Amino acid sequence: MDGDKTARRLKPWSIAARLVASAAACGAVLLLIAGIILSQLYRRATVQAFDERLGVYLRAIVADIAVPGDTGRIEPGQLGEPQFELTLSGWYWQVTRLETDKPEIKASRSLFASQLPRLADLGVPAGVGGARQGFATGPDGGQIRIVERQVDLDDAGVYLVQVAATTEELERRIWQFELALTIAFASLALALAGTTVFQVRYGLRPLRQLGGEIASIRRGEGERVSGAYSDDLAPLAGELNLMISANRDILERARTQVGNLAHALKTPLSVITNEARSADGPLAEKVAEQAAVMRDQVTWYLDRARAAAGARVVGASADVAPAVDGLIGAFRKIYAERAIDFDASVAASVRFRGEKRDFEDMLGNLLDNAGKWAASRVEISAPASGTDPSGRATIDLLVDDDGPGLPVEKRARALTRGQRLDETKPGSGLGLAIVTDLAALHGGALTLEDSPLGGLRARLRLPSA
């Protein structure tokens, strides 16, 4: 049981599942990489645009302090940004005169007695023209973006000009872009998944069609693969047709050889039996007895060989109901003197996956055994097809009689070849053994149970077409 569960858990994926899963994995990786790249490019472009905006304010301050006679004088509202006038608004500027013993600092009102950190002290390298851009912690504890530049005005002095702004607006723009990008890529992923499923189903439709034709052949509804297929599947369909034809040819040759062997053996055995019966004495009786045993054994093994040759025939199937009706008619005549009533209840849709002759051999032996032991009634039933624990479609053929039944401890012996549990009843002891072997050859089984009629129930489980 544990092995079966493990095998079911490790069942290989279908081709369609593999294609969809691989396409989904590749698409997800590519979309993720594309999303990361686009997000980084947008972030870089947005930060660069933000720096350019801060650079405009920085150049305005530099131009102001460069005016002779007005060094360091910057009027409120001169930069056109009211945020510079609001305390801790997140927008700041600061001008520091560096060549004096004690640096002189002028700053926007928004700094409120605070100072901006120097990017040079934070290890930010200088860019073109000595300008620096970088992130730092602002006076209010939030993250700010700083643009600074050192300006040498000769006699007017050396100044460090800094302009800073909170990154809230910057991060909000980036977040909005990433959200829109995520929604767009998610929609694209769903669209790609839908088109992938459609492509896989459409592309694998010929394989499903081929599988359907093979299933029809297995059920006996067709004899060969007849559909029109593309160049990549046409060779497979042709090889399947050749395999089916070869299988049937092998079966016919096997049947012919088995029939020839039967005739070759049965005729000499009949001659020996007749000669022995026409003579008197212990030797003649012994020869007749052993010749009968040999005839039974030859019949047994020839039937088994014929069944083994036909058990795996592709496309063989038989309707159960007509076969049951035919056998019941015959056995009613055989047991007419004992007035045995044979009744059948078989669903019309039930089909046996195998040859009709094999089915008739199995059911015939079961009916013969039931007729020998029944008191007055034998019932045959076969409900609609079901499934066994492995999921395979099966039919259960039930043969019940109202005879004396059979003890549980003797049922295993009754299924063994040559075992006769009651010598007063006619027979060779091969009937149930033949059924057991034929059922096993077709992947089925025979079990003996208690019958609701009071006698014995034979449950024959066979594959369903």
Give the model's pLDDT for residue 308.
Answer: 55
Q: What is the pLDDT of residues 366-377, one digit of tens each?
A: 998 888 888 889
Q: Which helix (H) or strand (E) segment is 185 a member of? A: helix 168-218
E-assigned strands of 62-131?
91-97, 104-107
Q: Please, which pLDDT band fits residue 430 given cuts at 50, 70 and 90?
A: low
Residue 460 pLDDT exceeds 80 = yes
Q: What is the pLDDT of residues 281-290, one digit of tens each?
A: 777 777 777 7
Residue 168 pLDDT exceeds 80 = yes
Give the model's pLDDT for residue 72.
Answer: 45
Residue 105 pLDDT exceeds 90 = no
Percent of the chain at pLDDT above 70? 83
DSSP 362-424: HHHHHHHHHHHH-SSEEEEEE-S-EE-TTS-EEEEEEEEE-S----HHHHHHHTSTT--S-TT
Do the beta carbons of residue 138 and residue 126 sit within 8 Å? no
Residue spans of the domains in the chain: they are 73-168, 234-291, 318-463
Give the model's pLDDT for residue 32.
Answer: 92
- The arithmetic mean of pLDDT across residues 237-258, rounded, is 75
pTM score of the predicted model: 0.53
- The arithmetic mean of pLDDT across residues 134-139, rounded, is 91
Q: Options 3.30.1600.10, 3.30.565.10, 3.40.50.300, 3.90.1200.10; which CATH number does 318-463 get?
A: 3.30.565.10
Q: Please, which pLDDT band fits residue 424 given cuts at 50, 70 and 90?
A: very low
Give the model's pLDDT for residue 353.
Answer: 80
Query: Which of the pair, 153 or 261, is modelled with greater confidence?
Result: 153
Say what angle helices 15-65 and 168-218 make with each other, to 10 degrees.
Answer: 170
Give the model's pLDDT for residue 423.
Answer: 46
Range name among 262-276, 330-344, 361-375 with the lowest pLDDT average: 262-276
Give the model's pLDDT for residue 71.
Answer: 43
CA end-to-end span of the chain: 26
